[in-house]
Structure 1
Amino acid sequence: MIGAVLAAPDGRVVVSLDVLVENRHFRRDWSSAADVGWRAAMQNLADIAAMGARPTSLVVGLVLPADLPARWVTGLARGMAAACAPSGVAIVGGDLSAGDEVVVAVTVHGDLEGRSPVLRSGAHPGDVLALAGAQGRSVAGMALLQAGHPRAHLDLVDSYRRPRPILAAGPAAADAGATAMLDVSDGLLRDAGRLALASGVVLDLIDPAEAFRADLAVLDGAARLLGVDPLEWVLAGGEDHGLLATFPGGADLPESFRVIGHVHAATGPEVAGRVLVHGAAAPVTARGWDHFRG
């Protein structure tokens, strides 16, 4: 890689890295090269937004099989460019090597623009828990592909191939006084648990039938087709990359956020890091994506 020189007017740079491995995170028979490029870029852009920053640039590392057509690589680049263009993000460098399967490693940089970073460790008892973005759509799309229904419920399949997080919601949340934030990449329950553990609190989601009414309605047809409870997709599904944040009670939330729960002190039997659903244990067995177990 040839070095890139980047401006940092704020004096601080937010950096994040994600890796996509073929047949672990994507399949070439499920997604076009442009789809893979879009996902690789967008999941990184969401990481920066979740710190309250504006993404500015990417560097990309590729591992490519020797027989991979060049048009696949150019398609990957087009997908990345399409994901980055609305945010004015530039791809400023990268590197490549040969290997048995495609690996896409993306490092993203962001500018806080004078804001304090929003960490996952700042939630306080009395805060509200809010979400910006859809929930459950990506995992539903993947389930349809796994079941051999690539043309059913195309909106959900497209959500898997090309997630669309509300990137502007991150800086807006920071400006509105968000106390903690992260993006939902590995499942709502799993990522909410990470926020709760880092903050030393307990999170209690309000009744999902109320908090996720619109999501459940969108998922209903695919759930009936596959014989799945859509609540499992909502609570355990990831890779929609919605932004999960806490705000002081009574705060005016940015327009893109909806309240989905509350923050409580970790006292008595309620240990820090626990996530309740309507005051009780979560009514699903799945907890989200595990990078080593699947």
Structure 2
Amino acid sequence: MGADPTGIVVGLGLPPEAGTDWLDDLTDGFRDECDLVGASVVGGDVTRCDLVVVAVTALGDLGGRAPVTRAGARPGDVVAVAGRLGHAAAGLALLHGGRAEPVELIDAHRRPEPPYACGPQAAMLGATSMLDVSDGLLQDLGHVAQASGIGILLTPEAFTVPPLMEEAARLLDADPLEWVLSGGDDHALAATFPEGVRLPATWTVVGQVVEGKGVQVRGRSLEHGGWDHFRK
């Protein structure tokens, strides 16, 4: 939402018989990830639970700015993305296919690399709406379209498919653009900006905001728009 990260609060539920050796690795992971943005673990709670449950709340400082929500996109805005798209989905598909390479894609599925700095950057550049891409670009931009009461038109030629994903697609007889458009778990950022804003290289313009509803991809029809946690 455009804030500078400041800390996280961790809620941890554990069964009484759960071993605790792995907790050192878990807390090391929290520390290392927080260090990337100058944040820290600032609190939390531990409780007894039938299952292992880890719940994290991230905190940030807007510095007096208004939060960048999903609801501000306007017709004429451009749609841009920052961070990796499709890498985690490709890695998951490789694992489902019984493959262990390319290892870079497997690692992308196991540990995402969110472009943390691009959130505050987008806010300073005047982003009109923004969210992270956790369930697939089409699915998540659909939330922007619904909240803003607009349509979004994506240009498939604007997306770059890296050679490693092309290789994985050949191995699995898959369409890499479907991973880019529908794959989640990369935790990239998607935002809309007023037309004419000069964006740095960290952002790539991939479409535009139009009158209408929902998200469309110019010249393509895709069966799946992303992951819906409650869809049967």
Matched, 1:232 2:178: yes
Which letter maps to 2:56?
V
Aligned to 2:191: 245
What SS does the aligned partner of 1:173 have? helix
Q: 1:109 aligns with which of 36, 51, 59?
A: 59
Contact 1:205-1:276 at 8 Å conserved across structures: yes
| Range with bigger deviation, 194-203 or 91-100 | 91-100
Per-residue deviation, residues 139-190 of structure 1 (Å, max 9, x unmatched):
11122222332x3111111111111111111111111111111110111000
Task: Please tell me whether residue 177 in structure 1 is matched to residue 123 in structure 2.
Answer: no
Offset from partner CA, 1:28-50 (integer Å, 9 cap, x none): xxxxxxxxxxxxxxxxxxxxxxx
In 2, Cα distance between equivalents of 1:287 and 1:143:
16
Structure with higher RCO (Cα < 8 A, 6+ apart): 2
Structure 1 residue 67 displacement after superposition: 4.1
1:211 to 158, 167, 179: 158
Question: Equivalent of 2:215, from 267, 275, 286?
Answer: 275
Confirm or deny that 1:59 pairs with 2:21: no
Aligned-residue offset at 1:136: 0.3
Q: Answer yes or no: is the 8 Å Cα contact 2:161–2:176 preserved in 1.
A: no
Deviation at 1:211, TM superposition (A): 1.4
Identity fraction in percent:
52
How many residue pairs get matched? 232
Stretch of structure 1 that moved more, 231-240 or 138-147:
138-147
Write out aligned runs for 1:248-267 (5 A).
248-266=194-212
Report the counterpart of residue 195 of structure 1 in structure 2: 144
Q: Please tell me the residue identity of whatever aligns with 2:126.
A: G
Query: In the aligned structure 2, how far is the partner of 1:85 from the partner of 1:124?
Result: 36
Q: Deviating runs (4+, > 3 A) in structure 1?
A: 65-68, 98-101
Alpha-carbon distance in 1 for matches of 2:74, 2:81: 17
Q: Kindly indicate whether residue 70 of structure 2 is the aligned counterpart of residue 130 of structure 1.
A: no
Deviation, structure 1 residue 227: 2.3
Equivalent position to 1:159, from 108, 113, 133: 108
Deviation, 1:118, is 0.8
Asked whether the 8 Å contact 1:176–1:254 carries over to 2, the reply is no
Matches within 5 A, 1:21-40: none
User: Following the alignment from structure 1 to structure 2, what is the Cα–Cα distance between the partners of residues 148 and 74?
Assistant: 30
Residues 246, 139 of structure 1: CA spacing in aligned structure 2 closer, same or farther, 3 A cutoff? same
CA offsets 1:13-65 (integer angstroms, 9 cap, x no match): xxxxxxxxxxxxxxxxxxxxxxxxxxxxxxxxxxxxxx010111111112234
Conserved 8 A contact 1:169-1:254: no
The one-letter amino acid paired with 1:277 is V
5+ residue gaps, structure 1, are 1-50, 267-271
Query: Aligned-pair RMSD on alpha carbons?
Result: 1.6
- Residue 100 of structure 1 and its aligned partner are, at CA, apart by 4.1
- Partner-residue secondary structure (3-state), 2:216: strand
**Cα deviation, residue 221, structure 1:** 1.4
Query: Could you say if the C-alpha distance between residues 76 and 183 of structure 1 is closer, same or farther in structure 2, counting changes exceeding 3 Å?
Result: same
Tell me the TM-score normalized by structure 1.
Answer: 0.75
Determine the C-alpha separation between the residues in 2 that align with 1:71 and 1:245: 40
Q: 1:69 to 1:145 in 2, by over 3 A?
A: farther
Q: Give the deviation of 1:199 after TM superposition.
A: 0.8
Provide, for residues 58-87 of structure 1, a one-character-per-residue CA deviation record: whole Å limited to 9, x for no partner: 111122344433221111111111111021
